[in-house]
Chain A
Amino acid sequence: MTEWPLWEVFIRSQHGLAHKHVGSLHAPDAELAIRNARDVYTRRNEGISIWVVRSADVVASSPGDKEALFEPANSKVYRHPTFFPMPDEVKHI
């Protein structure tokens, strides 16, 4: 028989941060994926909320597209506040 499908697991930790990818696991359906994720990824109070997503449903960018996707941001340094030097006399900015 074929393997149980693969799921990606995301956990939100205690401190109000966004859900973060922690790993993957196999489970027959979403309900068991959540239960397995509880056992595999939160044995030490790592989280207060779990998301599971079928790995087959994740659409990812390809490493070959890295330049096309991310290169344009390199030349736009003015998007960072440090681009604008402020006179020492000007405060709270």
Chain B
Amino acid sequence: MYAQMVDTGLKEVRTADDMPPEERAFQARIDADIKIEPKDWMPEAYRRTLIRQISQHAHSEIVGMLPEGNWVTRAPTLKRKAILMAKIQDEAGHGLYLYSAAETLGISRDQMLADLHAGRAKYSSIFNYPTLTWADIGTIGWLVDGAAIMNQIPLCRCSYGPYARAMVRICKEESFHQRQGYDIMLAMSRGTDEQQAMAKDALARWWWPSLMMFGPSDAASVHSGQSAAWKIKLLSNDELRQRFVDQTVPQADFLGLTVPDPALRWNDETGHYDFGAIDWSEFHNVIKGNGPCNRDRLQARVNAWDEGAWVREAAMAHAEKRAAGAARAVASIQQQGRTA
């Protein structure tokens, strides 16, 4: 998902016997669905895992603006351009809500960005693929934002208050993203032969990377157990992936597009779609930094940060100068009051 393979730093799920009394009380609150708030006591591993998960999620929102930004100047109409800009602005907002939530755990914004820029923090594998045609923008909204919603709705109920509240805001805004994507796909799949070919090609390229967004299969997902006990992961990777396939295949059918998986078929017994094996070597390769766009994406972020430094410094200098001026004015009025 937007946060994939989040390391808990623990080898196995903590049991009540492992826990000192304060941790037992903490786990009891989580089990009773009481939210954990910033000033409450929490185990260090919970705090560190949440910082990793929330910052990874925030970085994904911010890096996720790059593949879409590629098409702002080339959107086919003014209306589509305005919509795309609104969507990209939302992604920036989502990143900001999430950075704020992570900061309540005691990490600074600058530290999170430094970790991203140095390659110590991850972002979702999905944003390392290129956006080659306008149909890619449609497919991202439809599939990538669709997959994000699937993951984020349960997170609205997660145990950490600031994260849960950020997710509520994000989910309210996210379905606009998915619908605008599907709307682009509707137009293209009913358009000229060339547009239909673009729609087909985009689905062929984005389908498998979208399924990989949910992370490794449950059997290979070593940290999921502890994250589930802490209620910062509410549904398993495979459960979410299956829901996504079940929901999305009929939407592709409606568009008249074929999902690029020869093994895909409806299973009457299970009431779900069966689908083919995912190429996990591709996923791990992208996570390691070797996807088609990893270097470009990170370089774009580092450049934006470095080239914006003078703006951040100038704004702060201006604010300090004005505050100093105001303080001098107050002092001089007080001085006059005393001498009068």
**Using a CB–CB distance below 8 Å, which chain A residues touch chain B?**
1-4, 6, 22-26, 28-29, 32, 39-41, 43-44, 60, 62-63
Contacts of A62 in B (CB 8 A): 39
- Which B residues from 314 to 330 make CB contacts under 8 A with A? 315-316, 318-319, 322-323
Contacts of B110 in A (CB 8 A): 3
In the complex, whether B120 has a CB less than 8 A from a CB of chain A is: no
Contact across chains for B316 and A43 when beta carbons are under 8 A apart: no
Could you list 28 examples of A-B contacts with CB < 8 Å?
Answer: A1-B309, A1-B316, A3-B109, A3-B110, A4-B312, A4-B315, A4-B316, A6-B103, A24-B100, A24-B103, A25-B96, A26-B109, A28-B312, A28-B315, A28-B319, A29-B319, A29-B322, A29-B323, A32-B315, A32-B319, A39-B93, A40-B97, A43-B90, A43-B93, A44-B173, A60-B39, A63-B37, A63-B39
Complex Cα distance, B109 from A4, in Å, reads: 10
In the complex, whether B258 has a CB less than 8 A from a CB of chain A is: no
**Using a CB–CB distance below 8 Å, which chain B residues touch chain A?**
37, 39-41, 86, 89-90, 93, 96-97, 100, 103, 108-110, 165-166, 169, 173, 309, 312-313, 315-316, 318-319, 322-323
Contact across chains for A40 and B103 when beta carbons are under 8 A apart: no
The listed residue (B100, B108, B318) touching A25 by CB distance below 8 A is: B100
Complex Cα distance, B315 from A69, in Å, reads: 41
B93 to chain A, nearest CB (A): 5
Contact across chains for A40 and B93 when beta carbons are under 8 A apart: yes
Q: Would A3 and B108 be within 8 Å (CB), given that A23-B100, A25-B96 are in contact? A: yes
Q: Would A23 and B166 be within 8 Å (CB), given that A1-B313, A40-B93, A43-B93 are in contact? A: yes
Q: Would A23 and B313 be within 8 Å (CB), given that A44-B173, A60-B39 are in contact? A: no
Complex Cα distance, B104 from A6, in Å, reads: 11
